[in-house]
């Protein structure tokens, strides 16, 4: 069986991490969840209020380490699931370029839900702090992320697995 790079993307609160964990268990793949890495490595040092430049620099470090670890896992023949944000089309295109250049089988998974459902999930996740909780997402942070996310167009979704919850 050929190892596949599965890439999960969608807006905040859509259920990406829950989807990634369930998919990893079902497919016996290794999931790399950016928020988990950020919380473990940098959560205790996170400034309040969160500073964008501080966060982006550390996201870059985590992504570099995730890519390194994911490449090692893929080399063993085990599929990998990346839940690393990819809020912008250019970020997703970069992943596609990497997969093409390294001849990795690639499968995108677009996870979505209506905005009010997502907003409610994020609020509940902040309180319950269950399996998918890594970092608290304030209402202001949710709104910021909403402004950053670039929804995929029809061309970008060709061949993607789509999951929408209500």
* Entry pTM: 0.87
Neighbours of 43 (CB within 10 A): 14
Question: In angstroms, what is the C-alpha Rg of the chain?
Answer: 15
Mean pLDDT of the chain: 90
Residue 75: what pLDDT?
Answer: 94
All domains of the chain in start order, with CATH:
5-164 (3.40.50.300)
Q: What is the pLDDT of residue 80?
A: 98
- d(CA 110, CA 156) in angstroms, rounded, equals 10
How many Cα neighbours within 13 Å face the side chain of 122? 23
What backbone torsions phi and psi does residue 109 show, to the nearest 5 degrees? -130, 115
Among candidate residues 154, 153, 130, 125, the one with its CA nearest the CA of residue 141:
125
Mean pLDDT of 33-54: 87
Supply the pLDDT for residue 43: 84
Task: Tell me what the mean pLDDT of segment 89-105 comes to.
Answer: 94
Q: What does the pLDDT look like over 102-144, one tens digit per residue? A: 899 999 999 999 989 898 888 777 777 766 666 777 777 778 8
Question: What's the first-to-final CA gap in the chain, in angstroms?
Answer: 34
User: Hey, what long-range contacts does 67-71 have (CB within 8 A, 24 or more apart)?
Assistant: 67/98, 69/32, 70/5, 70/30, 70/32
Q: To 10 degrees, what angle do helices 52-75 and 34-42 make? A: 120
Say if residue 5's pLDDT is above 90.
yes
- Residue 89 pLDDT grade (very low, low, confident, very high; cuts 50, 70, 90): very high
Number of residues that this document lists for the chain:
166
């Amino acid at each position: 069986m050929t190892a596949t790079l599965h890439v999960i993307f969608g807006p905040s609160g859509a259920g990406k991490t829950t989807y990634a964990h369930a998919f990893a268990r079902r497919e016996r793949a290794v999931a790399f969840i950016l928020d988990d890495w950020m919380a473990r490595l940098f959560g205790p040092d996170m400034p309040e209020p969160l500073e964008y430049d501080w966060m982006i620099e550390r996201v870059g470090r985590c992504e570099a380490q995730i890519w390194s670890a994911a490449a090692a896992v893929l080399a063993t023949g085990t599929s990998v699931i990346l839940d690393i944000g990819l809020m912008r089309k250019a970020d997703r295109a970069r992943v596609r370029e990497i997969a093409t250049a390294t001849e990795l089988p690639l499968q995108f998974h677009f996870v979505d839900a209506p905005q009010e459902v997502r907003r409610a999930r994020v609020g509940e996740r902040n309180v319950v702090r269950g399996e998918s909780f890594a970092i608290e997402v304030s209402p202001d942070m949710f709104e910021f992320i909403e402004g950053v996310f670039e929804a995929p167009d029809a061309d970008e979704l060709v061949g993607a697995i789509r999951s929408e919850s209500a």
